[in-house]
Structure 1
Amino acid sequence: MSQSSVALPALRPRARRTLGGSLLVNELVTMFRRNRNLALLAALALIPVALGVAIKLSTHRGRNGGGFIAEVSNNGLFLVFAALSLTLPIFLPMALGVVSGDAISGEAAQGTLRYLLVAPAGRVRLLAVKGFSLVVFSLVSTAVVSAAALLTGLALFPGGQVTLLSGDSIGMGAALVKAVWITLLVAASLLGLAALGLFVSTLTDTPIAAMAVATGLTIAAGIMQAIPQLSAIQPWLYTYQWSSYADLLRDPVYLSNIEHNLLIQLGYVVVFASAAWARLTTRDVTS
């Protein structure tokens, strides 16, 4: 009798469902059914709503902010860009840091990791599924912010022509297309953090510790980016070009910063996904 056939009767419910069906589908369903993750997405959706209401009230009092916020009262679509600029430095990375830090360590803490590695779910396959699910969560969380901001902005403020940062004006349809591209770029900007969090989650059986490290490293990177004396290493930080999405609001589009951002994220994904693979494939999960 094989080892897997002995272990299967003792599998926990989630592990039995995983081995009996699609590992990827099960992972995505579990991710988006988890109350903690749903609460994170709900909190992200509330941020642009609160921001829109605050701008609406401040406009009535004759006060305006700067940057994208100053443009929201003239065109509700700018609430999408304002909300992304507000959530990208802190809230989106925090949500992704929590989910990515829990990816492997959460399974280890629950005692399901060794069962998930029973055939046909091998270590490489499990890691690939976890990584892809983090890509999906990054896209969904960013889309939630954009969708909530768009609905709130159009409900509270006028629409019409959109004035770009370069001074040109485009129609609402073209501006919506740009909003979609910006949402995709912001989601892609978080992939370096996702890979880093996935690697950290292979190092410990304590999810809270992995979440704290993934989130703390992002805070540390932001602090390092603000210190002039560290200018030599700043271009290598995964947070360095997070604001490059604003270049999509120019005509012509500035591609250099966007390309730099995507290359940084790709580099982090390759390095830390490889490190996560090396750690997970040599890790003793039998005990």
Structure 2
Amino acid sequence: MSVAEAPAAPVRRFSSRFLRSELRLIAVRRRNQAGFAALAAVPIVLAVAMKVATPDSSDRPGGGPDFFAQITGNGFFVALAALGVELTLFLPIAIAMVAGDAVAGEADQGTLRYLLTVPVGRTRLLAVKYAGIVACSFLAPLVVAVSGLGIGLILFGGGDVTLLSGTQAGLGEALLRLLSVCLFLGVCLSALGAVGLFLSTLTVQPMAATITLTMLSVASFVLGQIPQLDWLHPYLLTQHWRDFGELLRDPVSFDALTPGLLSAGAYILVFLTAAWARFAGRDIAS
């Protein structure tokens, strides 16, 4: 057979099977299910507590816009208040569990070498793992928002929503703004997930990566509250997370949202590149 008559090399078609398998694996893990259940439980506890006794708004946890004072007048604000509360710890922990387990979990269970001999290229493996992290990053705030919205409307009712700018918005428009808040936070949490993916390539112990990422997010919030470190604030991962309040003004100031999106994009680019550089040259022993 001549060279001209040699059969062409088969073209590998794109398949979503690996991605679907990864998403299914994330969904069936008990610790992930427990984590998302905890995310959904916090708004319920918050709403019941507000129904039983209205606390002083000055004692509310965290910073950012004060949605607690408006909860009793409109249950819509339970979702926003819960997002503000969970943003400092619970949401980062949920993403840290998934991101820390991405590569280190496979190495810990001895399945990483098997995945790479299927064959699955290392770049494709990292891409699929990060896609699973991104999916959870967008799902987590949605879980909090849906849980808070549901229990809020049940206990306090709904109606027109007073935005932070003082204008009124119908419930339909308010729901679109709440969805936009969840999408913005999803981008922010995806940046945290990129850092977690990098940490997951450094160890074979998923708990080590999870704890490290959680500590980094908490440290970022703490450093952001120290005025003497104002020169550092623009570079902190969590510095712009609370800018989601801009989506509840009329009109929305997209210029105020841009720094947060650019910061998240920079973190994603830097740490995904670092994860690829680390994982591409790593010896796989398990």
Same fold (TM > 0.5): yes
Corresponding residue number in structure 2 for 1:174: 173
**1:43 corresponds to 2:35:** no
Q: Deviations over 1:260-284 (max 9, x none)?
A: 1010000000000000000110000
**What SS is found at the alignment partner of 1:73?**
helix
- Structure 1 distance, partners of 2:224, 2:16, is 45
The answer (yes or no) to whether the contact 1:55–1:64 under 8 Å persists in 2 is no
CA separation of 1:229/1:21 partners in 2, compared to 1, >3 Å: closer, same or farther?
Answer: closer
**1:57 corresponds to 2:52:** yes
Pairwise CA distance, 1:39: 0.2
Pairwise CA distance, 1:243: 0.5
Corresponding residue number in structure 2 for 1:270: 269
Range with greater deviation from structure 2 (174-183 or 64-73): 64-73
Pairwise CA distance, 1:21: 8.2
Corresponding residue number in structure 2 for 1:24: 19
- Structure 2 distance, partners of 1:256, 1:240, is 16
- Structure 1 distance, partners of 2:32, 2:121, is 26
Q: Deviations over 1:131-188 (max 9, x none)?
A: 0000001111111101100100000002111101101001111111111111111111
The answer (yes or no) to whether the contact 1:23–1:121 under 8 Å persists in 2 is no
- Structure 2 distance, partners of 1:156, 1:212, is 36
Corresponding residue number in structure 2 for 1:15: none
Range with greater deviation from structure 2 (270-279 or 224-233): 224-233
Corresponding residue number in structure 2 for 1:250: 249
- Structure 1 distance, partners of 2:16, 2:133, is 20
Ranges in structure 2 where 5+ consecutive residues have no aligned partner: 1-14, 59-65
TM-score by length of 1: 0.90
Opposite residue 125 of structure 2, the aligned amino acid is L
Corresponding residue number in structure 1 for 2:124: 125
Match runs of 1:215-230 below 5 Å: 215-230=214-229
Opposite residue 171 of structure 1, the aligned amino acid is G
- Structure 2 distance, partners of 1:82, 1:254, is 21
Pairwise CA distance, 1:64: 4.8
Identity across matched positions, percent: 45
- Structure 2 distance, partners of 1:160, 1:26, is 42
Opposite residue 88 of structure 1, the aligned amino acid is L
**What SS is found at the alignment partner of 2:73?**
coil
Corresponding residue number in structure 2 for 1:214: 213
- Structure 2 distance, partners of 1:84, 1:257, is 19
**What SS is found at the alignment partner of 1:189?**
helix
Pairwise CA distance, 1:247: 0.5
- Structure 2 distance, partners of 1:131, 1:167, is 40
Pairwise CA distance, 1:223: 1.6
Opposite residue 169 of structure 1, the aligned amino acid is Q
- Structure 1 distance, partners of 2:88, 2:37, is 18
- Structure 2 distance, partners of 1:139, 1:234, is 25
- Structure 1 distance, partners of 2:117, 2:200, is 20
CA separation of 1:21/1:253 partners in 2, compared to 1, >3 Å: closer, same or farther?
Answer: closer
TM-score by length of 2: 0.90
Pairwise CA distance, 1:286: 4.0
Pairwise CA distance, 1:119: 4.0
Pairwise CA distance, 1:120: 2.9
- Structure 1 distance, partners of 2:16, 2:277, is 27
Corresponding residue number in structure 2 for 1:6: none
- Structure 1 distance, partners of 2:202, 2:256, is 33
- Structure 1 distance, partners of 2:111, 2:217, is 29
Runs of 4+ displaced beyond 4 Å: none
Opposite residue 129 of structure 1, the aligned amino acid is V
**What SS is found at the alignment partner of 1:165?**
coil
- Structure 1 distance, partners of 2:69, 2:227, is 28
